[in-house]
Structure 1
Amino acid sequence: MQTTAGRPKDLEKRKQILEASKALFLKHGYHGSSMNQIAKEAGVTKLTVYNHFKDKENLFTCAIEATCEESIAARPLTLNADCDFQQEFFHACELALNVISLPEALKLEHLLLELAAEQNPLALQFYNASHQRMCVVWQDFFQQAAQFGFIQMAAVEKQTDLILSLLLGLRHHEVLLGIRNPPSTAEKHQIILDSMELFLLKYNPTTSY
C-alpha cells in the first residue's frame, strides 16, 4: 500500500525524517515518540516534519512501510523453467527467516502487538505493510513454481500459510516472548530443510491423494 504523504519539498529532508522516525518508533513505540522528538532527531523543524507528513499517523505508516519494504524486497523471488527449484526454495525460506529474525523485525512485531491490544486502526495498516506484504511475495513465488511444474497447482494462500507455519511455528512465539533466542545460522538451516521436506510431501507434483 502506498501511503500519501503531505507536501514533500526536499527529498533529502524527507529521508532524514523517515530515518529518525524509524529509529524512535522502534525504540520508544508509537505513543512514546513525539513529532518534537522526531524533528530534533532528524535535525529539522517541527513545521518541516508536518510539511512532509501531514500528521503522526501518516509518518508512522510511511516509516513502517519503508522499514518493511527495505527488508522484504531485498531479494526478488523470481523463478524460470531452468532454475534449481530446491535451491531457490531454500533461498526463499532463508530470506524469510533472516528478515523475521532481525532485531528490528522483532521490535516491529512487539509494536504491532501493542497497537493491536489497544485496537488501534494503525495495526491493520502495519499488518498490511509487513505480514501481508510478505504473504504476497510468497504467493507470487508459489504461483511461479506451479506454472513451471515444480509444485502442484493449488491455492497459493494455503501454500503460504503452510510454509510460514512450518518456518515459524511455536518457536517464533517463544522468541517474541523472550523465552527463546532467535535461531542460529545452523538452526535456521535445519528448520528450512525440515520445512521444505514437509511442504513438498504435500505439494510435490508427483504426489497424489
Structure 2
Amino acid sequence: MVSKSSVVASPKPSSRAAGPGRPKDMGKRAAILEAAKQMFTELGFGGVSMDGIAARAGVSKLTVYSHYGDKETLFAEAVRAQCQALLPDDLFGHALKGPLRTQLVEIGMAFFAMISSEAAMATHRMMLAPGTGDEHVREMFWNAGPKRTQQDLAQLLQVHVAAGALEIADLGLAASQFFCLVKGELHSLMMCGLCRDPSRARIQAHVQASVDFFLRAYAVR
C-alpha cells in the first residue's frame, strides 16, 4: 500500500518576485538569474550581495529587488533553475512511452550529469564546508533542488505502482534511494578528485546497474 504522505506536491515558486507595477523586463530577469547562478557557485550564499549581482547583470539594485524580492528568493530560484535545466519536468512525464527501465536510465543519466557538473560540485563542496552559510541556507538549497527532484520521481513511481508494475510502500523513500544509488561510489570518487573525467561508457554502466538494482528491489512479488 502506498503512503500518500510520501508524495508531496512541489512547492510553487515564490510570488514575492512578482510585485505590482509595469510588466517585468524578461531579458533583465534572465540576466539577473544568470549572474546569481554564477556568483552563488563562485562565492557561496554569504559572499554574494544584491549589489554584486546587480553589477554583474548590468542592472540597478532596485531592478534586482523588483524581480526577486530578496537574496533568499533569488538563491532558491537559482538552484531551481539549475536543476530544471538538466532535469526538466518532461523527463518525469507520466505519458512517456517505452519501458520504465529506459525512462529511469534516462533520468539517472541526466541526474548524474547534473550532480557531476562543475557548478553542482562547487555548490556541493560549499554546502559541506564548515562555517559556510547557516541551516536556513542549506534548507533553501535542499527544498529548491534535491527535494523537488525526489518529489518529481516519486510522482512518476506512483503511476507505475498504480499500474501494478512496481510494489512500493513508501514512494518518497524509494525516490531517495534511487538517486543515492545513481550517485554511488563514482560521484564520491569525483568529489575526492580521484576520478576527474569518467567516460560516458563508465557512467552509463554505473547508471544502468543502479536502475536494475532498484527495479529488482521494487519488483512485484
Give 1:34's match in structure 2, choosing from 45, 49, 60.
Answer: 49
Judge which range, 69-78 or 94-103, deviates more.
Answer: 69-78
Q: Distance in 1 between matches of 2:97 and 2:86?
A: 27
What does 1:52-91 correspond to in 2, within 5 Å?
Answer: 52-73=67-88, 75-80=90-95, 83-91=98-106
Residue in structure 2 matched with residue 126 of structure 1 by the alignment: 141
What does 1:1-209 correspond to in 2, within 5 Å?
Answer: 1=11, 2-3=13-14, 4-5=16-17, 7=19, 9-73=24-88, 75-80=90-95, 83-114=98-129, 118-181=133-196, 183-205=198-220, 207=221
Residues 12, 56 of structure 1: CA spacing in aligned structure 2 closer, same or farther, 3 A cutoff? same
Q: Percent identity?
A: 28
Q: Which runs of 5+ in 1 are unaligned?
A: none
Residues 158, 65 of structure 1: CA spacing in aligned structure 2 closer, same or farther, 3 A cutoff? closer
Cα-to-partner distance string for 1:86-111 (whole Å, 9 max, x where unaligned): 22222222222222222222222223
- Which letter maps to 1:18? L
Aligned-residue RMSD, C-alpha:
2.5
Whose relative contact order is higher, 1 or 2, with alpha carbons under 8 Å and at least 6 apart? 2
Q: Distance in 2 between matches of 1:115 and 1:10?
A: 38
**SS of 1:31 mapped into structure 2:** coil
Residues 133, 182 of structure 1: CA spacing in aligned structure 2 closer, same or farther, 3 A cutoff? farther
Q: Which runs of 5+ in 2 are unaligned?
A: 1-10
Contact 2:182 2:206 (8 Å CA) reproduced: yes
Contact 1:174 1:180 (8 Å CA) reproduced: yes
Cα-to-partner distance string for 1:5-38 (whole Å, 9 max, x where unaligned): 2637323212211111111111222222222221
Aligned length: 206
Cα-to-partner distance string for 1:51-83 (whole Å, 9 max, x where unaligned): 323332332222222222222226432345973
Q: Distance in 1 between matches of 2:85 and 2:97?
A: 28
Contact 1:64 1:126 (8 Å CA) reproduced: yes
Q: Distance in 1 between matches of 2:65 and 2:100?
A: 48
- Which letter maps to 1:100? I
Judge which range, 124-133 or 142-151, deviates more.
Answer: 142-151
- Which letter maps to 1:17? I
Residues 134, 174 of structure 1: CA spacing in aligned structure 2 closer, same or farther, 3 A cutoff? same
